[in-house]
Structure 1
Amino acid sequence: MTTLEQKSKLLSRWLRHRPDAIGLELDKRGWVDVAELLLKSADAGVVLTQDELMQIVVENDKQRFSLSEDQMRIRAAQGHSVDVDLKLPVKTPPPVLFHGTVQKFIASIRRQGLLPGTRRDVHLSATKQTAAEVGARRGTAVVLTVETYPLLHDGYQFRCAENGVWLIPDVPPKYLRFPDK
């Protein structure tokens, strides 16, 4: 039996990284028809009801999913590794944002800055607490502070996903503040 949490993780995988795993095709904005998603999920052996899907969308603590106004389409709010354009507007961020990571990545980040890896953008948080929670998923969290005004001054653009995650293509090391040891 697949729990609601497991179904939520599968939805993240399908809508962010591997729609092909169940034969889905996302449109260029990342949307897929809810009815098609439910059908393809069942065909893949994961029975997901409309009610369960709505519960996952509403109750997901990170608000990872967005429904269209008519609730006929769904997409991941951010975090894609597949080629989609969410058409998020450019937005001015607060003076500082935060990024949660773990110690093993700090040396690389000091050299290269924050890079998106397999995703399309670097994810930043508006609060230290959220960044710490993100970092803690991989071990003991290290929270980096991102100076946003110098980035803006140098031509970088920020976007904010519907769930409050700030997105930027990369953050060079000179814009980062590392915690004292």
Structure 2
Amino acid sequence: MKNTAKKSKYLSLLLRHQPEAIGLVLDNEGWASVEELLLKINRTSFSLSFNELKEIVASNSKKRFSFSTNQTKIRANQGHSIRRIELGLEKTQAPEFLYHGTVVDFLDAIRKEGLSKMSRNHVHLSTERSTANQVGSRRGKPVILKVNARRMQREGYDFYLSDNGVWLTDFVPAAFIEFPNNTK
């Protein structure tokens, strides 16, 4: 398939952030009609067939997208900046530690204010340092923060696990974050 990465990024933009760019309607759980999505994407400079869409969903390394069981609907698994999207995730027992990738430029603010969801619906965390490293490296030299998720949960904070394995929470206070020593 031509331009798979480009089409996947465009799909991510539409399903996570700007469905209105093509007049796409998402329901409150983030689902869009596959038929409507394909019709409206194909009115733009992108062309996308159902088979290409299935390939993007199946091959996306971050498992960003899911089909409904009958493949008539599609949604992004997490990462929405659209406020009204509620993925219907259930509270889940968090592992002892989770990781978050960032860069040095944000550390002072994180030390003062903790990790905020910013324009997204949740703070994103991972069980693997390598994943956090990848996320942090998108903006420069990565810094990996260790979050004491189990302690947070004991103190009343909720955690959710998205369909693609990303851990989500509303906020991480600085008191639950272990900062690397060499990042002043």
- Unaligned ranges ≥5, structure 2: none
- The 5 A counterparts of 1:26-175 are 26-82=26-82, 83-175=84-176
Shift of 1:93: 1.0
d(CA) in 1 for partners of 2:22, 2:91: 33
1:43 corresponds to which letter in structure 2?
Answer: R
How far off is 1:154 after superposition? Answer: 1.4
Aligned-pair CA distance for 1:180:
1.6
Preserved CA contact (<8 Å) 2:65 2:74: yes
CA distances 1:30-64 after superposition (whole Å, capped 9, x unpaired): 00111110000011221111111111101111000
Residues 118-156 of structure 1: CA distance to partner in whole angstroms, max 9, x if unpaired?
A: 001000001101100111111111000000122112111
Which aligned runs of 4 or more in structure 1 are off by greater than 6 angstroms?
A: none
Tell me which amino acid in the other structure corresponds to 2:168: L
Distance 1:149 1:164 in 2: 17
Cα separation, 1, equivalents of 2:87 and 2:112: 30
2:94·2:153 contact (CA, 8 Å) conserved in 1? no
Gaps of 5+ in 1: none
Structure 1 letter corresponding to 2:130: Q
CA–CA separation in structure 2 for the residues paired with 1:26 and 1:153: 35
Code of the residue aligned with 1:111 in structure 2: it is K
Query: Percent identity among equivalent residues?
Result: 46
Q: How many residues align?
A: 180
Q: Using the alignment, how far apart are the partners of 1:102 and 1:55 within structure 2? A: 33
- SS at structure 2 position matched to 1:126: coil
Distance in 2, Cα, partners of 1:168 & 1:150: 13
- Counterpart contact for 2:92–2:159, Cα < 8 Å: yes
| C-alpha distance in structure 1 between counterparts of 2:22 and 2:114, whole Å | 35
Please, what is the CA RMSD of the aligned residues?
A: 0.8
TM-score normalised by the chain length of structure 2: 0.96
CA contact (8 A) 2:145 2:180 kept: yes
